[in-house]
């Protein structure tokens, strides 16, 4: 019984770790997309408005 509980706890920890990694990857991806949009917007305003050279 005790070893079964330990295995179960370990499984929960692993799934929590995987979920955390997935969440981090999703946030990184979202940040990357947002950064690209921001960069293209900045380039657009730079080529037309003339402020900011990134």
Task: Give the rounded percent of residues in the chain with a pLDDT score beyond 70.
Answer: 70
Split at pLDDT 50, 70, 90, the class of 48 is low
Radius of gyration of the chain (CA): 22
Q: Look at residue 53 in the predicted model and tell me its pLDDT.
A: 47
Q: What is the mean pLDDT of the chain?
A: 77
- Domain residue limits, the chain: 1-46
> Under 8 Å CB-to-CB from 45, ≥6 apart: which residues?
51, 52
Q: What is the pTM of this model?
A: 0.46
What's the rounded mean pLDDT across residues 2-24?
81
Q: Look at residue 44 in the predicted model and tell me its pLDDT.
A: 65
Q: Under a CB-based contact definition with an 8 Å cutoff, are residues 42 and 52 in contact?
A: yes
């Amino acid at each position: 019984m005790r070893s079964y509980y330990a295995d179960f706890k370990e499984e929960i920890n692993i799934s929590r770790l995987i979920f955390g990694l997935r969440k981090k990857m999703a946030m990184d991806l979202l940040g990357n997309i947002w950064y690209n949009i921001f960069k293209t917007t900045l380039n657009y305003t730079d080529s037309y408005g003339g402020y900011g050279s990134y």
